[in-house]
Amino acid sequence: METLTADEAAHLLHMQPKRVRELARAGKLPGSQVGRKWLFRREEIERLITGRPGGMGPAGEHVELSARNRLRGRIVRLRLDGLMAEVVLAIGDQSLVAVITRTSAERMELAEGQEVFAVMKSTEVMIGKETTAE
């Protein structure tokens, strides 16, 4: 298992190291704090960059997920930053925040006001959007 410093993770994500530490501190980016340093698993950062978490297939392909925890909500804020996108959903009177790749957000054409669903399994939260058949 190869670990990255905040500076190395920031370089891969095309973000500022300060923003990487902020996201990690807020629990929006997978990392571990050891003393005053943040460390990140390379494989987790690379998985974020590729936009293909386990169970997801190429665009346009029907995919079944083993995750059963789905929450429908409306996007109230979408922030694109480097290679990452922060998606804030309103689910009832609660907010849920997911950090996904910018590529995934653009591929799904996510926008504020859209109804989407959050898929949760273990410590991961993914965003899904229903599409109409062409």
Read off the CATH number of the domain in which 14 is found: 1.10.10
> Tens digit of pLDDT for each residue in 111-129?
999 998 887 766 666 778 8
Q: Residue 120: give the domain boundaries.
A: 69-128
Instruction: Confirm whether pTM is higher than 0.75.
Output: no
Structural domain total, the chain:
2
Question: Hey, is 120 helix, strand or coil?
Answer: strand
User: What's the rounded mean pLDDT across residues 32-46?
Assistant: 88
Strand order from edge to edge, sheet including 115-121? 94-101, 84-91, 69-81, 115-121, 124-128
Q: DSSP letters of 56-76?
A: --STT-----S--EEEEEEEE
123 lies in the same domain as 86: yes
pLDDT tens-digit map of 43-78? 888 777 665 544 334 444 444 555 566 788 899 999
Q: Does any domain span residue 133? A: no
105 contacts 85 by C-beta, under 8 angstroms = yes
43 and 90 assigned to the same domain: no
